[in-house]
């Protein structure tokens, strides 16, 4: 791995093995997100904490999800001054990701996307309903954050951190989109995959006008706990499957 990487707002320094691994994982995560159709031209963003450093990685603002390579990623300090598009960093991305990573040490990867179903559901007054097995993953485990405008106000960090709470790993950004997080990139991807699917399914069912069947609260909670358990034991195998998907399409993310 090359040395002499420039830290935004910092100085040249060599790259640790942990950072090299994080770069590989985050570049792969961007490409997998693109595969699922979560890209939005150059907008939206995914961030990954670098182990044992007060820093995180994110893509440059002007690069699309489908173009991200490990060497493209920008290293930023979590305690650094806010950055914006004039520095080729998405201002809203800096706000959103530092809000989570600085306040939840248990979370290392955050994903924010504007999937159509997620945008639609974010304006749904009742929010996500536990009407199918995948949606029950989020039963009492989905946070909501009210819309405040494009998230370039650093003061919103405090309110977003408050709204995600101490344990949840998914946020419905009202009138905006979706946010997922995880201890690993794999977990953040899986949380987002199920969240987008749950939004799509609810919109499909509601569009028919059919009466909904709602499982009992105790069944929903039991199922959510089962999902918590399965995530822990399947996280590694999920990640290997994600890599197989993207490696069959394009391995240039490793560059």
Single pTM value for the model: 0.92
Q: How many domains does the structure of the chain reveal?
A: 1
d(Cα 38, Cα 79) in Å, to the nearest integer? 28
The vertex-40 CA angle with 237 and 174, nearest 5°, equals 85
| Segment 129-151, tens digit of pLDDT | 999 999 999 999 999 999 999 87
CATH number, domain of 167, equals: 3.40.225.10
Domain that holds residue 190: 5-254
In the structure encoding, which two tokens stand for residue 92, read together? 């809203």
Q: What is the structure's pLDDT at 222?
A: 98
CB atoms within 10 A of CB 84: 15
Q: How far apart are CA 98 and CA 35, in angstroms?
A: 25
Extract long-range pairs of 235-238: CB within 8 Å, 24+ residues apart.
235/184, 235/186, 235/187, 235/190, 236/186, 238/186, 238/189, 238/190
- Buried (b) or exposed (e) across 180-191, using 16+ Cβ within 10 A? bbbbbbbbbbbb
> Which tens digit of pLDDT belongs to each residue from 36-48?
999 999 999 999 9
d(CA 25, CA 157): 25
**Two structure tokens written together for 125:** 């007054």
Mean pLDDT (the chain) is 93
Model confidence at 8: pLDDT above 80: no
């Amino acid at each position: 791995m090359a040395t002499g990487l420039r830290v935004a707002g910092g100085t040249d320094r060599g790259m640790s093995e942990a950072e090299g691994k994080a770069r590989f994982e985050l570049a792969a995560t961007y490409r997998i997100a693109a595969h699922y159709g979560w890209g939005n031209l150059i907008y939206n963003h995914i961030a990954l904490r670098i182990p044992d450093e007060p820093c995180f990685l994110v893509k440059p603002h002007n690069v699309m999800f489908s173009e991200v390579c490990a060497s493209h990623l920008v290293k930023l300090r979590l305690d650094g001054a806010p950055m914006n598009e004039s520095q080729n960093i998405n201002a809203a991305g800096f706000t959103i990701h530092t809000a989570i990573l600085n306040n939840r040490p248990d979370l290392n990867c955050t994903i924010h996307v504007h999937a159509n179903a997620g945008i639609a559901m974010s304006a749904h007054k009742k929010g996500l309903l536990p009407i199918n097995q995948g949606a029950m993953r989020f039963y009492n485990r989905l946070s909501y954050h009210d819309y405040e405008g494009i998230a370039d106000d650093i003061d919103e960090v405090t309110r977003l951190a408050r709204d995600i709470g101490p344990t949840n790993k998914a946020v419905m950004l009202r009138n905006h989109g979706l946010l997922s997080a995880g201890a690993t990139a794999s977990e953040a991807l899986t949380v987002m995959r199920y969240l987008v699917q749950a939004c799509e399914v609810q919109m499909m069912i509601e569009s028919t006008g059919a009466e909904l069947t709602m499982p009992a609260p105790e069944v929903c909670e039991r199922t959510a706990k089962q999902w918590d358990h399965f995530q822990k034991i399947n996280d590694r195998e999920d990640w290997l499957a994600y890599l197989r998907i993207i490696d069959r399409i394009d391995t240039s993310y490793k560059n």
